[in-house]
Amino acid sequence: MPGGEPIVPNGISLCKLHHAAFDSNVLGVRPDYIIEVREDILKEKDGPMLLHGLQSLAKKEIILPHSHKNHPDPDRLEKRYQEFKDFIPN
């Protein structure tokens, strides 16, 4: 995968649900480590799993490792965040 270097600053630790949401552009992480959820997903009404599993993450900051050297690289996040912002759902 282009840009998918196997180094710590190029990673974000996610569970299966959030990894799938990130990969499918349901949620994105800004370079300042704030989570954004797509607007159409925020408007959706589909029960507690959607509400608590995804929608409630909007505008929250990711939990960062204690060591700054292990933080996700803001430049890589910016590139991936632009992909999220440019995504147009079907």
pTM of the model: 0.90
Q: Which of 84, 87, 78, 80 is nearest to 4 (CA)?
A: 80
| pLDDT 10s digits, 36-79 | 999 999 999 999 999 999 999 999 999 999 999 999 999 999 99
Burial of 74 (0-12, 13-18, 19+ CB in 10 A): middle
Q: Looking at the predicted structure, is the pLDDT value of residue 14 above 80?
A: yes
**Domain residue limits, the chain:** 8-86
Rg over alpha carbons for the chain, rounded to the nearest Å, is 13
